Amino acid sequence: MIRLYRAFSLLGYCIIPFWFLWRFLSKKTSFERFFPPEKINSNNIVWIHALSVGELFSAQNLILNLKKNLPEIHLHLTVSTKTAWDQVLLKFKDSVDSIGFFPIDLPGLAELWLSRIHPKLIILVEGDIWPNFIHTVFKFKIPVILANGRISPKSLSKYMLLKPMVKECLNKIDYILAGSYADIKRYTALGASKEKLLYIGNLKYSADMPKDIRSVRELYRKQLNLDDKARLLLAGSTHPGEEEILISACKNLIESGENIFLLIAPRDIKRSQQIKRIAEKYGFRAILRSQTGDCSLFFDTVYIIDTLGELADLYAVSDIAFIGGSLVERGGHNPIEPARWSIPVLTGPSVFNFQEIVEDMEQKGGLIKVQSDSLKQILASLIKDDKKMRHAGSMAGKTAGVYVNICENYINIIRKVAE
């Protein structure tokens, strides 16, 4: 069936340029995906590919630690979207040896890329599996690892319609390191060989534990002019419908005399002006981080994080974290990022993207599930009871610490395959 896909994809040379022009004009990708990179002069190249920002940050800890643990390799990092490219330049460029764009999946382009790069190993992050590329890499006898392999229930139903082709692609991959046991079941349903499937932990949970939480926290709080008694709630990766719930709850708490400040980091920073208007509707003064940088926070202030790549570190200044995408039906986001700073984690009921870790953290007392109408009450109970807040934060930190060795597990397999 891959042959049929390759035949049909030849038509892409007629159709894709128009689609690609639209993507380029909307600043979502680059024409460099049609033109191979300059030749890399190394015999020890490991090529790691992350489709977009989500995949890039899922593999962030792996990317940043590969060279530290395998200094002999030449690490080549590619992405497919312009937003991911901007993050590569901002956060990853100094941790790898070379960077570039991934080719469009048209016949012949993969050959051009491989003729310039000559990797000894290719690592694909999460689910960016393209039949032409996989077929070509297999033909060149280059081993492939699918890292943090993930298939959502919705994607599974679509892939089942193309099961023969998907099965062929999956079984040309050397290792499928699944993101969860549920993902292993889905790959098995698609025909992946059980010998190729492993679960050694989810890379999203592998963030390094901070070495000096107190000094980092004090630095950030000094920048924001916050005293020790101020309680700061950071709502990370929020979605439409959640900000108003959070702003309303904090407004009520402040009017009740509670000492709470609110930082909001929306999942889509383009919505920052919309969130600013919501905050102003409730009588708050809204400040955008991109326009002010460091500033003092006051009770009438909502601080909106409209910059990329800072959320994980900004949790350091917080006393309580709220995980967005959970009061609306989006499945939530990674609770390990705030938990590693040993602060209590709040989340709504929609957590299917991180079901296992949420259940683990909730069971240990580091995470509390809230509803829209119970958010204010639960926030108040934490703010008023310092002992309760410290205990929840401690349990969140201990839960996060369990996942520290995940990155090391991945590196051990990469070392084995790359030898």
End-to-end CA distance of the chain: 33
User: Domain ranges in the chain?
Assistant: 2-206+405-418, 213-401
Q: Are 410 and 62 in contact (CB under 8 A)?
A: yes
Report how far apart, in Å, the C-alpha atoms of 161 and of each of 158, 166, 167 are.
6, 9, 11
pTM (global) more than 0.95: no
Cα separation, 287 vs 305, whole angstroms: 9
Q: Are 410 and 417 in contact (CB under 8 A)?
A: no
State the amino acid at position 409 in one-letter form.
Answer: N
What CATH number was assigned to the domain covering residues 213-401?
Answer: 3.40.50.2000
> Catalytic residue among 55, 243, 337, 362, which?
55
State the amino acid at position 416 in one-letter form.
Answer: K
Report how far apart, in Å, the C-alpha atoms of 307 and of each of 315, 376, 397, 415 are.
14, 27, 26, 35
What count of other Cβ atoms lies within 10 Å of the Cβ of residue 42?
17
Q: What's residue 139's pLDDT?
A: 94
Phi, psi of 323 (to 5 degrees): -95, 115
The pairing of strands 197-198 and 231-238 is unpaired
Report how far apart, in Å, the C-alpha atoms of 85 and of each of 62, 216, 267 are.
17, 28, 18
Q: What's residue 1's pLDDT?
A: 60
Query: How much of the chain is helix, strand and coil, in % rounded to 5?
Result: 50, 15, 35
Cα separation, 80 vs 78, whole angstroms: 7
Among the listed residues 212, 407, 204, the one whose alpha carbon sits nearest the alpha carbon of residue 316: 212
pLDDT tens digits, one per residue of 120-145: 999 999 987 889 999 999 999 999 99
Sign of CA dihedral 234, 315, 321, 260: negative
SS3 for 16-33 is HHHHHHHHHHCCCCCHHH
Q: What's residue 28's pLDDT?
A: 56
- 55 catalytic residue (yes or no): yes
Would you state the structure tokens that stand for residue 214, as one six-digit string?
């107190």
Q: How far does Cα 227 stand from its chain's mean position?
A: 32
Q: Residues in the chain with pLDDT < 50? A: none
Alpha helix positions (H), 171-316: 181-189, 213-223, 242-255, 272-281, 289-292, 311-314
What CATH number was assigned to the domain covering residues 2-206+405-418?
Answer: 3.40.50.11720
Helices (H) and strands (E) in the chain, counts: 20, 14
